[in-house]
Amino acid sequence: MTLPSTEQLHTDAARLDPSDLAGSARALAAGQIAAAQAVEGAVDSIAQAALAMAETLRTDGVLHYVAAGSSGLMAAADAQELGGTFSISPARLRIHMAGGLPTGVEMPGAAEDADAGLADALQDLRPHDTVIAVSASGSTPYTLIASTIAQSKGAKVIGIANNAGSPLLLNADIPILLATPPELISGSTRMGAGTAQKIALNMLSSLMALELGHVHDGMMVNLRADNDKLRARAAGIVARIANVDTAVAQSALDTAKGEVKPAILIAALGLSLPEAMTQLGNSGGNLSTVLTTDNNR
């Protein structure tokens, strides 16, 4: 029986030599680069999936990230960044990791074969929700069970896996194949497979935010400025887009209670906060639409 690609022995595995750590490092770096390049073959599927995720949030649905082991860490990392980066409400996000998110340095490996509590965790799934299921092998029981539950409730399933023809991809509404080469350390999918997964997840959430109007000219205009670094970043964003100095940008942010989009409209167009919020509401929160409409008047 042919092993799945994530379990095969890499042809360059012999380059990992304890007597030549520099050479071994070069081999590992090449493996990571090759894994990253595998994402290029999935861009169309990633774009389609990002659109589905954006539609879920537009309709007050919930994004459910489901995974086990290393894939679970990749999925959780993406989900946990969405609040601070794009102000996605915690009520719109769920993380389901086999065995639960680790609180220490150990991960419960056996949990990926179990589904205890998963049906209860997904009992409130609705048709406009989306499940993002991530598994290097594409056959992890935890993700397959979650996918089955999701589809029985009419929710959309985005499947991310590194093995072609795997059950997760075959059963997903939107399959994303990340065809990474075998690992330099055979079966250690936290390496190449995990790298490709993280890139794909980064792309999914970033494209989703772009579709929702949370990115303008490459800037995070929907970020939540809840620390000094982000407050400074927010002021810089307002200053650049509104073409005003930092003092004016900061004043607009104060008026807008720290929200970047209305602050930009206050600084750039001289709107009051109620006027800015009304225009954003009319545009579905899309800053570009408001600015373009004003420029065309």
Name the residues annotated as catalytic.
81, 112
Q: Going by C-beta distance under 8 Å and a sequence separation of 6 or more, which residues neighbour residue 100?
A: 108, 111
Look at residues 95, 193, 104 and name the one whose alpha carbon lies nearest to residue 146. 95
| Other CB atoms within 10 Å distance of the CB of residue 120 | 8
How far is the C-alpha of 150 from the C-alpha of 61, rounded, in Å? 13
8 A C-beta contact, residue 263 and residue 255: yes
| Other CB atoms within 10 Å distance of the CB of residue 83 | 16
Q: What dihedral do alpha carbons 20, 22, 23, 25 form, nearest 10°?
A: 120
8 A C-beta contact, residue 96 and residue 66: yes
**In 3-state terms, what secondary structure has residue 20?**
coil
Task: List, in sequence order, every residue forming a beta bridge with 194; answer none if it has no partner.
Answer: none
How far is the C-alpha of 65 from the C-alpha of 282, rounded, in Å? 31
Q: Cα 144–148–151 angle (5° rounding)?
A: 135
Place of tokens 């490709």: 196
